[in-house]
Structure 1
């Protein structure tokens, strides 16, 4: 009896060992692919919903801007690029200054960016570009939080600023020049952020 049990056990062990050399890779199958696709769709929908909520919050905070841009639609505006001189090395120049390019703005973002730039220009009026403290006070009085902008003096009496519009996304940049502050909207720089990156290669 014991001998028969041992023989059966040995046979089972040999059969198991014979199968150990084979590697079976599970086929993901259509259900796995469908699950991955569903997860990607859910992530995209969550991102879109988050963006909608942020934009709605922006329009509540700045109702005059939101109302004026509620129906803005269209294709993205072209991205800004560095000017290229007409010479044989222009290709190299463009490559070295590609870091100055910005992401194209969608029509809603362009509308809101231009509207914010206009309200800042109106608040500054015809006054000349002034000190950093004056500029910071003006931006705060318009409802922009300190965390949303950075005033840049760069050792000059006339200050500039970089501002990221909360919720709407566009950047607003104010640059002093010829005694006036030039204010304009643009997308994020390709290297990231609203402030122009320094240097190239």
Structure 2
């Protein structure tokens, strides 16, 4: 005769064992448990930044073929800086000034990027009437319309007027950079430069 005295206790032990097995990642038939809650991730794909940059330049060249023609064959390798990162003045006051204004430092441009920037700067200056600024826009709306019509993206704050009413603009050249900054004269002044190390084409405000 089989005793049924320990049946409830055995049922509890059996249920506990099944829970432990499930927690360890073992699949129990009919339980629907996941075999491994933390599977080994698949090998990641490294980002090909050079390919991305080349694709961006190709898109730029399609938008501005005349600039592409001027800069064809220019080196795209980053320039090698001869200055050490801590190459600061030895004079304490001059060194402090340099440290306080380090936030204004710009990223160095490759010869190809510098060529594109200079070509865009010349293109915009010509549209503004040359250095004399004859016939240049007189309002922020007119200036924004001119730049947009030339294929540039004008964001909020990219075109503005000083307290004296002088118009200025800051642009990031579509797709490949660099930055082009200008003032509507007279005289008109337009120049190309690298993005600031803190990010963007607008001169950062601050320091300490």
- Compute the TM-score of the two structures, normalised by the length of structure 2: 0.66
Q: What does 1:152-167 align with in structure 2 at a 5 Å threshold?
A: 152-167=160-175
Q: What does 1:1-201 align with in structure 2 at a 5 Å threshold?
A: 42-45=45-48, 47-73=49-75, 76=79, 88-125=92-129, 126-127=132-133, 130-147=138-155, 150-175=158-183, 179-201=186-208
C-alpha contact 2:198 2:204 (8 A) present in aligned 1: yes
C-alpha contact 1:163 1:194 (8 A) present in aligned 2: yes
**1:148/1:115 Cα in 2 relative to 1: closer, same or farther (>3 Å)?**
farther
C-alpha contact 1:149 1:164 (8 A) present in aligned 2: no
**1:122/1:175 Cα in 2 relative to 1: closer, same or farther (>3 Å)?**
same
Distance in 2 separating the partners of 1:48 and 1:195: 25
Distance in 1 separating the partners of 2:124 and 2:152: 10
Gaps of 5+ in 2: 1-41, 82-87
User: What residue in structure 1 maps to residue 3 of structure 2?
Assistant: none
C-alpha contact 1:132 1:158 (8 A) present in aligned 2: no
Question: Which has the larger displacement, 66-75 or 116-125?
Answer: 66-75
TM-align CA RMSD: 2.8
**1:58/1:148 Cα in 2 relative to 1: closer, same or farther (>3 Å)?**
farther
Gaps of 5+ in 1: 1-34, 79-83
**Per-residue deviation at 1:147?**
3.9
User: What residue in structure 1 maps to residue 8 of structure 2?
Assistant: none
**Per-residue deviation at 1:155?**
3.1
Please state whether the residue corresponding to 1:43 is helix, strand or coil.
coil
User: What residue in structure 2 maps to residue 30 of structure 1?
Assistant: none
The structure with the larger Rg is 2
C-alpha contact 2:172 2:178 (8 A) present in aligned 1: yes
Distance in 1 separating the partners of 2:176 and 2:204: 22
Superimposed CA distance per residue, residues 10-68 of structure 1 (whole angstroms, 9 cap, x where no aligned partner): xxxxxxxxxxxxxxxxxxxxxxxxx98xx5xx5242x2222111110100100000111
- Compute the TM-score of the two structures, normalised by the length of structure 1: 0.68
